[in-house]
Amino acid sequence: MGYEPLVQQNPLRVLDTGGENNQMGLVMARPGLGKTALLVQIALDNIFRGKRVIHVSIGESIDKTKSWYDGILQSIIQDYSLSNPQELIDMVTRNRMIMTFKIAAFSRSRLEERLNDLVLQDIFRPNCLIVDGFDFVNADREALEDIRNLMETMNMQAWFSANCRREDTRVSPAGVPAPCHEIDDLFDMIILLKPEQDATIQLDIIRNYGEQVENGKGLRLDPTTMMVKKI
């Protein structure tokens, strides 16, 4: 089957999340607001465009991460009334690899070692890296610069998630909250998830491919399905 409708009709199209390599994106929110769900949809957008994704889950199990993909895929299958859903599921499985790290074990060197093993043995050659659960509180700028350098060397796009806390009021001039307020310049795309009074979650687009965005992009997460929808 062709996956053009899944690409062209995806609300994330306004962000072009599956676009150029050598870019780094950041999704920030308070715990439990849907960062992983959004990262999974970004990963799937890349896969539907013919790319391969490594999903690094820090401090979580492979099964829990896979369950996010299963749930999002079921929503897509229902929304598009796909006649052969198993074909889509199999295609995603072939083009996605889930990798886990303990929080203290994640570093550029260990990530690079595992990625190189996959590439050099011709097991899996990724175009996009998803990093869910990176410890921004205890990481320094050099650690992020190292990972950005690795992405440039391997010609890959990367997306990270970060927790922010209501009680920490520090914020960068661009509007990026702590703990990423002093390293926001390292990211080309930055999305904040903000709960609304109608229980939906707004995607506040702060930066889109290096350009600061003042009015967002009119996207929200449906709290029931955790799928991105246009307002």
Strands (E), 84-215: 96-101, 128-132, 157-163, 189-195, 201-208, 211-212
pLDDT at position 22 is 77
Using one digit for the tens of pLDDT, what is the confidence trace for 117-170? 999 999 999 999 999 999 999 999 999 999 999 999 999 999 999 999 999 999
**Residues 115, 126 contacting (CB under 8 angstroms):** yes
pLDDT at position 2 is 61
CATH number at residue 64: 3.40.50.300
Q: What pLDDT band is residue 228 in, cutting at 50, 70 and 90? A: very high
Using one digit for the tens of pLDDT, what is the confidence trace for 23-33? 899 999 999 99
Domain count, the chain: 1
Residue 59 has pLDDT above 60, yes or no: yes
Cα diameter, the chain: 51
CA distances from 207 to 23, 25, 187 (A): 12, 9, 8
* Domain of residue 209, residue span: 4-230
**Residues 166, 30 contacting (CB under 8 angstroms):** yes
Residue 194 has pLDDT above 60, yes or no: yes
Q: How far apart (Å, rounded) are the C-alpha atoms in residues 36 and 43?
A: 10
**Greater model confidence, 104 or 147:** 147
Using one digit for the tens of pLDDT, what is the confidence trace for 68-101? 999 999 999 988 888 889 999 999 999 999 999 9
